[in-house]
Structure formats: C-alpha cells, structure tokens
Amino acid sequence: MADPSTGAPDFDGWSCPLPLRHTERIVMGHGGGGRMSGELIEHLFRPAFGASGELHDAATVPIPVGSSRLAFSTDSYVVRPLFFPGGCIGDLAVHGTINDVAMSGARPIGLSCGFIIEEGTELSVLGRIAEAMGAAARAAGVPLVTGDTKVVDAGSGDGVYVNTAGIGVIPDGVDIRPTRATPGDAIIVSGPIGEHGVAVMSQRDGLEFGTEIRSDTAALHEMVAAIVAVCPDVHVLRDPTRGGVTATLCEIATAAGVGIEYEEDRVPVPDAVAAACSFLGLDPMHIANEGKLVAIVPEAAADDVLAAMHADPHGAGATVIGRVVADHPGVVTARTRLGARRVVDLPLGEQLPRIC
C-alpha cells in the first residue's frame, strides 16, 4: 500500500518486488498474455506461491494410488475490504476452497486460482494477497498448482477478485452429504460463531466500529480427517459461510426432509460478536464464518467426534447444539433462552453483502 506521506510503495511483507517496467500499478497489458503477463507470473505469482515447475495451460496432479472418487469445488471471493482483522482475500480464498473440498470428507490435493484485477491496482497490494495465498497453501499442505490472471479496465472491478477451485480425494467408504441427516443425529458446531462477518463489517466504510474480533479464516481439512478417522460414518459436514449457521441448518433440513432443533443457549457466541450484533441489529446465527464447520453425526458417535474436534486447534470450542428430529420435516426450530420454541427461517439474502 502506498505510504500516504510520500506516495512510495511499502513492500513490507512482500518478498518479491516486481521489476516494475516503470509502473507500480496494474495496467491492461498485465492481462494480455504477452510479456507483461509473463513477468507478473514469473516475478510475482510464482515466488509468492513457491511454484517451481514448468508453465503449461494445465497442471499435472498425480492421483493417489487406490483413489476412486474426486471432490471438486469452486468459490469466487469478492470480500470488501481486501484486508481485514485476521486475514485478507488471499488466505480466505485458499481456506474457503480447501474447506468446501473437505466437507465431502476429501483430502484436498490441489488448488487453482484465477485473479480478476482492476487496472490501477497497486502491485504491492496484489503482492501481499499472493503472498498470503502462498503462505496459507503451504501451511495447509495443499499446493496452488495452476492459475490465470485477467485485467479489467478501471471502473469495471473493485481492486481484486479471486476465484479458487480445489480437488481432493474422497476415502473409500466415506459418504458425507446433506441428505444423510437422520433423526436422532447430534448437531455439532466446531467453535464460536460470527467472527468472520463481524471482523469484516468492522472495517466497512461508514460502519467502522472498534472490536477485538478477528476473522476465524482457517483450513479445516485436518480436523475433518480427524473426525472421519473416529467416525467414518459421519453423515453431514458443512462450513457455515454466507448465511451463517442458520442457512446451513435450513438447507440440510430441506435437503434431507428432516426437522432440526437446537438450543440457543448452547450456541457459542463470543461476547464481542454478541455486542456487535446487538449494536447492528443482526443475528449471530446469520453471520458468515470462515473457519468453522457443522457436523451431523450418529448420536452414538458424538462423544468420539467431539473429542477428535477438541484435539484440533480449530475445534477447541466444539459443542453439541441440537439434534435432528423426525418432526416438522424441512423446518428448523430453536429453543430460546426463555424456553419457548420458535421457527428459524432461511435468510432471504445476506445481511451485509460481499462478506467473502
């Protein structure tokens, strides 16, 4: 980001200043597929991602011996602002797609990334995002293997959009999907909810407020592997991102044709999230998370799954919040702190857009 006093770029945290061809900002030529595109790949993306292989239209990924099913997922990220407490669009894009792949029980083996960059974006901003992606991918052990860059003219974008797609291998015998939710199953949330959404909202123009909350953005594939190891018959896994835990539960209830009941006072809501939501008139159950999962498992396996989650750094706060029931199929209900039971409906849209 430019230093406001001097206008000079600040390369703090970016290990690879680009030989800049007399520009410190993205120009249309960076997206043209010619020499400037090549320089951007060679001097910015490849060092950031730690990539050393040959360049080709497609990457080659070895298939682990004995694999019979792939998980394949994609997400685009348009979060605003690009940097927020606890993360940025780059690590979010890596974690989010790793998590989507992992929610089928798969072990992620490779990621792609596609950048759509607005002309005029500072190269140092792009560098920081790419560095965050590379660091997140290395920490997760899931390589970024292929990518693409497009540049759109000023006014046709908003800095940087990132798409990631991911592939993984699903262990034989594992069958995790929303329709497997079965009456009697326990519903587990892996930790405190609402942190990502509140952290991003706290930085929005016109809405800034003080909070110590940081985004929970994290890769959950190791925790999923631990869950599957103790309970290969886990029925459903979902990461409650846009629409929050409420949207996740409503979608599962509808897909499986079952009822879902949870206890409001069992849902872990950090005090600072509760305070921000109270202030903004929002429901923490509707707020996006980026490092949490909802697990629906046979009641008999719930204690083992909880223990496996508690042993993972991202699951220390895991707790049972409710259960799947045969009553009111397709409907989610919550028992309030006063003991009443209310119907919980899918939100129409998102309370605040561009949260991920």
Which residues ranging from 64 to 93 are in contact with a copy of itself (CB under 8 A)? Answer: 65, 67-78
Residue type, 244: G
Which residues ranging from 255 to 274 are in contact with a copy of itself (CB under 8 A)? Answer: 255
Burial of 84 (0-12, 13-18, 19+ CB in 10 A): buried
Q: For residues 220 and 10, what is the distance between their CA atoms, to the nearest angstrom?
A: 32
Residue type, 215: S
Residue 152 is a binding residue for a copy of itself (CB under 8 A): yes
Q: Which two tokens stand for residue 248?
A: 């996740």
245/272 with CB nearer a copy of itself:
245
Residue type, 182: T
Provide, rounded to whole angstroms, the least separation between the CB of residue 124 and a copy of itself. Answer: 21
106/228 with CB nearer a copy of itself:
106
Which residues ranging from 209 to 248 are in contact with a copy of itself (CB under 8 A)? Answer: 238-239, 241-243, 247
Residue 205 is a binding residue for a copy of itself (CB under 8 A): no
Residue 280 is a binding residue for a copy of itself (CB under 8 A): no
41/275 with CB nearer a copy of itself:
41
Q: Are 99 and 107 in contact (CB under 8 A)?
A: no
Residue type, 178: P
Provide, rounded to whole angstroms, the least separation between the CB of residue 166 and a copy of itself. Answer: 8
Q: For residues 355 and 233, what is the distance between their CA atoms, to the nearest angstrom?
A: 33
Q: Which of 9, 18, 25, 31 binds a copy of itself (CB under 8 A)?
A: 31
Q: For residues 72 and 207, what is the distance between their CA atoms, to the nearest angstrom?
A: 37
Q: Which of 15, 23, 156, 278 binds a copy of itself (CB under 8 A)?
A: 156
Whole-angstrom distance between the N-terminal and C-terminal Cα of the chain? 21
Residue 251 is a binding residue for a copy of itself (CB under 8 A): yes
Provide, rounded to whole angstroms, the least separation between the CB of residue 201 and a copy of itself. Answer: 14
